[in-house]
Amino acid sequence: MGLWKRFAAVLVFGLLAVDARAQDKAADGADEAAPVVREAIIEETSRGAAVSETAAPGWPYPKAYASRPLTMNKFMIRGTFSVDVKRGFADPSTGAQAGRPLVSFDFGAAFSPLDNLEVGVSNYRLGSTGPVTGQAMFPIVVSPIGTFGDMPVYVRYSFMRKDYVEMAADFVLSIPSWTNLSATLGLPVRIRVRDTVTIDTGTELVVLSNGAGLNVEVPFKFTYNPTPAGFIFADSGFSFQNLVRNVTGGSYNDSNLAFPVGARNQVFVPLAVGGGYTHVVKDIVMLDMFARVGWNPFVYINPPSGSGIGVVPARDAWVLSVGMLIHTSPILQQ
């Protein structure tokens, strides 16, 4: 548990430093009323410079969600908070759908110690699959039972960054503080169609240790910024779950699995839509407020089969996330 304590300390230190710097700026510049001139981080486009403006003068990180790189700038900190709901939750002891949905309050954090490198404990990674309910640095599960969820510790390195495409490598270790141990190897790819439009795809291999199972996720996400502050998105893809499962025996109690827990070799298509709004506070804190609703699964390609296991209709497989991303400027180098 020492790892998440260190991450929490870094996050708290960063936020306290941000607050102190904001107070100093307010005291020193109270008499200054000069207008703020936004900087452009990418080339001018036919839609104007606003679509590619930075978060703040001297902070060369895109304000537009669709323009952002796969890793934060060096020394940036990101805190995450979301309320995540998953209707299709199965009772691990029976494999049947629980009477109440899975609900959790998920608090996470991430930090960029070097250029192109990001580490964190969070269920959010830019350009990856949607958030997993009950995973975070502090995943507080409140329904159908009260418990502490799983802790996904991740490392991401961006090894190729061009004007129109970026690729990174992910390694995620889900500490089994609630369910089973798992590890994820990911290759996220962000394609910039325009400054205001991106397509996220790639591949994720999720190794489920208990029973030697494997999930293969191929996400596809479309993001559009109609304004520098407002963004909308839709995500889908293909999900292959419980492949080569139960080779060594074991349970199916994994937070990375969709419902139901006991069916092998499932293939389905998830679907979700959402949007949000970005607000910069005192040029040193950037807030992304968002909402996402979807269905996981939405359509089956290879439905589950077996005794007592049936297809879960989309009306019983909805997911919902409402939350906020809190970015701080790279204050540790100043």
CB 168 within 8 A of CB 159: yes
pLDDT digits (tens, 9 = 90+) for 241-272: 888 776 655 566 778 787 655 677 889 999 99
- Which residues sit opposite 318 in a β-bridge? 295
pLDDT value of position 315 = 79
Domains and CATH numbers, the chain: 2-333 (2.40.160.40)
Separation between Cα atoms, residue 302 and residue 54, nearest integer Å: 45
pLDDT at 213: 82
pLDDT for position 312: 74
pLDDT, position 253: 73
* Residue 68: per-residue pLDDT: 95
pLDDT at 251: 60
- Non-local (6+) Cβ contacts of 212 within 8 A are 244, 245, 246, 247, 248, 250
Q: Tell me, rounded to whole angstroms, the distance of Cα 116 from its chain centroid.
A: 17
Structure tokens at 331: 């204050």
What's the pLDDT at 67? 93
Report pLDDT digits (tens) over 19-78.
445 455 444 444 444 444 444 444 444 344 444 578 888 888 999 999 999 999 999 999
Residues 186, 191, 196, CA angle at the centre, nearest 5°? 130
Residue 97 has what DSSP assignment? B
Q: What is the pLDDT of residue 57?
A: 84
For residue 281, how far is the Cα from the chain centroid? 22
Q: What pLDDT is recorded for position 37?
A: 42
User: Which residues of the chain fall short of a pLDDT of 50?
Assistant: 1, 3-5, 7-8, 10-13, 15-20, 22, 25-51, 307
For 80, the token pair is 């995450």
Instruction: Specify whether the CB–CB gap between 117 and 71 falls below 8 A.
Output: yes
Position 212 scores a pLDDT of 66
Show the tokens assigned to 116.
């192109």
